[in-house]
Amino acid sequence: MGNVKPKGHEGKSQGPGVSSRKDYDPGVVHAEKSLPEDERDRSLRPQNLKEFLGQAVLKENLGIFIAAAQERKESLDHLFLIGPPGLGKTTLAQVVAHELGADFKVTSAPALDKPKDLAGILTTITDKTVFFIDEIHRLKPAMEEMLYIAMEDYELDWIIGQGPSARTIRIPIPSFTLVGATTKAGNVSSPLVSRFGISCRFSFYEQEDMEAIIRRSAGILKISIDDEAASLLAKSSRGTPRVANRLLRRMRDFAQVLGGPALASITPEVVQEGLTRLEIDPLGLEQYDREILRIIIERYRGGPVGAETLAISVGEAVDTLEDYYEPYLIQSGLLQRTPRGRMVTDRAYEHLKIAKPLTQDKDETNGFLF
Ligand SMILES: Nc1ncnc2c1ncn2[C@@H]1O[C@H](COP(=O)(O)OP(=O)(O)OP(=O)(O)O)[C@@H](O)[C@H]1O
Ligand SMILES: [Mg+2]
């Protein structure tokens, strides 16, 4: 299959919001949101599957699919990555490119405004490129339709001319692997989902994987941390590598300033003190997480309360509430999503040390009516 490159594209900018592995600049990709600290520090990003810790099942399967594709000298099938923020979707996409020895291109759906933005990328990729689209649930319909043909036939439908003389031509493009990442799988259209051959759902990391990630990051950042401190920190990192890396840096700050230069090592005492100062509790909840639970309890009698209403009450966008805060609260068994809305669990009352009022149902079964 030929690689058609429109004239004049060579050496030019690669269009809006896209960057390749060599000049990877997350600032271009996520121009609309401020960058988390660890996104800026690329040294912590695992480069290959071996360094990518945890997510054992997902990783093992992926390793097999990569080896098989390489043996057949084909591009890897399109890959769909689903999971809450900070669990390693972008990292894994980069790792896949590295394992395949392929180029890596990265963009996000909101940066793809017009078909020509997408066409500009797809006509300039090299064979077997791993093309990563973040937040794929935000892709516009026109771009989605263009992707269907690109994903299935490695061709682009391109309209030339205008009005009655307009016609469509098909432009062949190199075979590539689309990696689509989303925090909201339910918002991705089913025709698009069905075109991904491999689907990976990330789960929050286990305690021992979190400990390993913390030790690895500490090694790279040349921070000394003992096992007990790593274990404590892992427990408060919400099963999320991004949070672990962020907390590790904060603990380094505390160790350095509070412990004095001679004591710049992270001990369990430093972690305890640091977490208290950051108002992070033993479950890894921050003040804001507790606030969400407290509002449901105090204003909505524990729920159910609709997501929109709750978002307004806590002063947050629904998306942020659903993508960032809720998954961990649900995972921790503190919050439930029900058809009627969000409800706190008994565990939430216990955790916040708030006495649970007797509900009407209970009153009834307690014999008030009988
Ligand atoms: N499996 C892993 N092992 C070690 N470190 C990891 C792993 N996964 C992620 N990390 C670290 O966590 C950071 C966040 O990961 P990443 O940016 O890939 O998350 P993401 O899922 O793409 O998040 P978002 O949805 O916000 O884009 C990375 O910079 C990396 O250092
Ligand atoms: Mg990402």
| Å from CA of 120 to ligand 1 middle | 28
- The closest residue, in CA terms, to atom 8 on ligand 1 is 88
Check if the beta carbon of residue 82 is closer than 8 Å to that of residue 201: yes
- The closest residue, in CA terms, to atom 7 on ligand 1 is 88
What local confidence, expressed as pLDDT, does residue 13 receive?
Answer: 42
- CA-based max dimension of the chain: 84
The full set of domains in the chain, from first to last, is 19-201 (3.40.50.300), 207-277 (1.10.8.60), 287-356 (1.10.10.10)
| Å from CA of 88 to ligand 1 middle | 3
Q: Report H helices in the chain.
A: 26-29, 37-40, 56-71, 89-100, 115-122, 141-153, 190-193, 207-220, 227-235, 241-258, 268-277, 287-300, 307-314, 318-320, 326-331, 346-352, 360-363
CA neighbor of 7 nearest in space, from 123, 99, 95 = 123
Secondary-structure percent of the chain, ordered helix, strand, coil, rounded to 5: 50, 15, 35
Which pairing describes strands 341-344 and 335-338: parallel, antiparallel, or unpaired? antiparallel
The half-sphere exposure of 187 on its side-chain side, counting CA atoms within 13 A, is: 16
Q: What is the CA radius of gyration of the chain?
A: 24
Q: Each residue's pLDDT tens digit in the chain (370 positions)?
A: 444 333 333 333 444 455 554 444 433 333 334 555 655 567 899 999 999 999 999 999 999 999 999 999 999 999 999 999 999 999 999 999 999 999 999 999 999 999 999 999 999 999 999 999 999 999 999 999 999 999 999 999 888 888 888 898 999 999 999 999 999 999 999 999 999 999 999 999 999 999 999 999 999 999 999 999 999 999 999 999 999 999 999 999 999 888 766 557 899 999 999 999 999 999 999 999 999 999 999 999 999 999 999 999 999 999 999 999 999 999 999 999 999 999 999 999 999 999 998 765 544 444 444 3
Check if the beta carbon of residue 49 is closer than 8 Å to that of residue 129: no
Which pairing describes strands 198-201 and 79-82: parallel, antiparallel, or unpaired? parallel
What local confidence, expressed as pLDDT, does residue 21 receive?
Answer: 46
| Å from CA of 254 to ligand 1 middle | 24
- The closest residue, in CA terms, to atom 24 on ligand 1 is 85
- If one residue of 42, 45, 328 were mutated to test the ligand 1 pocket, choosing by the most ligand atoms within 8 A of its CB, it would be 45
Residue located via tokens 């390693």: 88
Pocket of ligand 1 (CB under 6 A): 38, 44-46, 52-54, 85-91, 134, 183, 213, 241-242, 245
| Å from CA of 108 to ligand 2 middle | 9
What local confidence, expressed as pLDDT, does residue 258 receive?
Answer: 82
CA neighbor of 170 nearest in space, from 119, 114, 129, 117 = 119
The half-sphere exposure of 8 on its side-chain side, counting CA atoms within 13 A, is: 1
The minimum-distance atom of ligand 1 relative to the CA of 38 is: 29
Q: 235 by DSSP, 3-state: which?
A: helix
The residues with which 181 forms a beta bridge, in sequence order, are 81
Residues 6+ apart with CB under 8 A from 358: 366
The minimum-distance atom of ligand 1 relative to the CA of 91 is: 18
- If one residue of 242, 243, 247, 320 were mutated to test the ligand 1 pocket, choosing by the most ligand atoms within 8 A of its CB, it would be 242
Backbone φ and ψ for 117, nearest 5 degrees, come out as -65, -45
Check if the beta carbon of residue 104 is closer than 8 Å to that of residue 94: yes
What local confidence, expressed as pLDDT, does residue 111 receive?
Answer: 96
Residues 6+ apart with CB under 8 A from 249: 37, 221
Ligand nearest to the CA of 106: 2
| Å from CA of 295 to ligand 2 middle | 30
Backbone φ and ψ for 79, nearest 5 degrees, come out as -120, 130
Backbone φ and ψ for 139, nearest 5 degrees, come out as -70, 140
Long-range contacts of 276-282 (CB under 8 A, 24+ apart): 278/247, 278/250, 280/236, 280/247, 281/236, 281/351, 282/235, 282/236
- If one residue of 53, 55, 91 were mutated to test the ligand 1 pocket, choosing by the most ligand atoms within 8 A of its CB, it would be 91
Give burial (CB, 10 Å; 0-12/13-18/19+) of 176: buried
What local confidence, expressed as pLDDT, does residue 3 receive?
Answer: 40
The whole-model pTM stands at: 0.85
Give dist(CA 76, CA 182) in Å, integer. 19
Enumerate the active-site residues: 89-90, 134, 183, 242
| Å from CA of 89 to ligand 2 middle | 5
Tokens standing for residue 137:
């649930």
Length of the chain: 370
The residues with which 82 forms a beta bridge, in sequence order, are 182, 201
**Measured in whole angstroms, how far is the alpha carbon of residue 33 from the centre of its chain?**
14
Ligand nearest to the CA of 45: 1
Residue type, 271: V
